[in-house]
Amino acid sequence: MISEQDALKEIEKLCMDMDLSTQTIIPDLQKYAQELVRWQKVKNLVSRETLSEIWSRHFLDSFQLAKHIDPNRGIILDYGSGGGLPAIVLAIAFKQTDLKVHLIEANSRKCSFLRHISRTLGLNCTVHDVRAESFVLPENVYVGTITARGFTDLSSMFEICMPHFGVDSVALLQKGRGYDEEIAASKSNWSYDIATFSSVVAPDSVILAISGLKQR
């Protein structure tokens, strides 16, 4: 696993590559880290074992998605947002744009934290306190990017997100080892285009970019 200091440097490098301002992004991430630790005691936002690896295990892992996102193409719709990963990190990354992030989370206590950190950092976020299966997208809202981190298997994910999957939508799904088995299992009911990108955090993890999703 990459060190915390190296993770910070990698985020700064990604900012430069995407012409994003580290002067606003890094302080916001630092504040987010502080609030995650402070609220963790009562909200159980992330695994306790990973609190010492917030920048490497969580922030860099989330931030790397930014280079695959066009902030001018619809909203980001994040399923199972939990403590805000990757959604809050991406909202911080694109804070200076008009990109809006919608977070879907069924745990009301975690929703309280998501609303708190969004207000605290002045992020363009809307938090939906609802189960993903029951979520109804507001009218006239186009989904450009769908994200989910450690949420569910591909077949279940496709069932949930299909109603919100537009013609040009892209789902960026972070997966660990065994993802190829999920792909194979999904092919019987779904057709789609897929691009696979290696994670900068863990050698056995990938980002799956799904487009053209259709049910067979």
Determine the pLDDT at residue 41: 77
pTM tops 0.75: yes
Alpha-carbon span 128 to 116, nearest angstrom: 13
Q: What is the CATH number of the domain that holds 110?
A: 3.40.50.150
Alpha-carbon span 62 to 10, nearest angstrom: 12
Interhelix angle 154-161/179-186, nearest 10 degrees: 50
Distances (CA, A) of 181 to 1, 19, 154, 175, 212: 24, 37, 10, 11, 20
Q: Is 131 annotated as a binding residue?
A: no
Q: Is 181 annotated as a binding residue?
A: no
Q: Is 103 annotated as a binding residue?
A: no
Q: Order of strands, edge to edge, in the sheet holding 101-105?
A: 125-129, 101-105, 75-79, 143-149, 170-175, 206-215, 190-198
Q: Which residues pair with 76 in a beta bridge?
A: 101, 145
Q: Is 74 annotated as a binding residue?
A: no
Supply the range of the domain harboring residue 196: 4-215
Comparing CA positions, the residue from 39, 200, 43 lying closest to residue 107 is: 43
Determine the pLDDT at residue 2: 85
Q: Is 212 annotated as a binding residue?
A: no
Alpha-carbon span 11 to 18, nearest angstrom: 11
Element holding 147 (H helix, E strand): strand 143-149
Alpha-carbon span 172 to 86, nearest angstrom: 10
Q: Which segments of 76-213 does DSSP mark as H helices, in order?
A: 87-93, 108-121, 154-161, 179-186
Mapped onto helix, strand or coil, the DSSP state of residue 157 is helix
Query: How many domains, the chain?
Result: 1
Instruction: Please give the DSSP secondary-structure letter assigned to residue 57.
Output: I
Mean pLDDT of successive 10-residue segments in the chain (216 residues)? 91 96 97 93 78 91 97 96 96 97 96 97 98 91 95 96 96 94 97 96 92 96
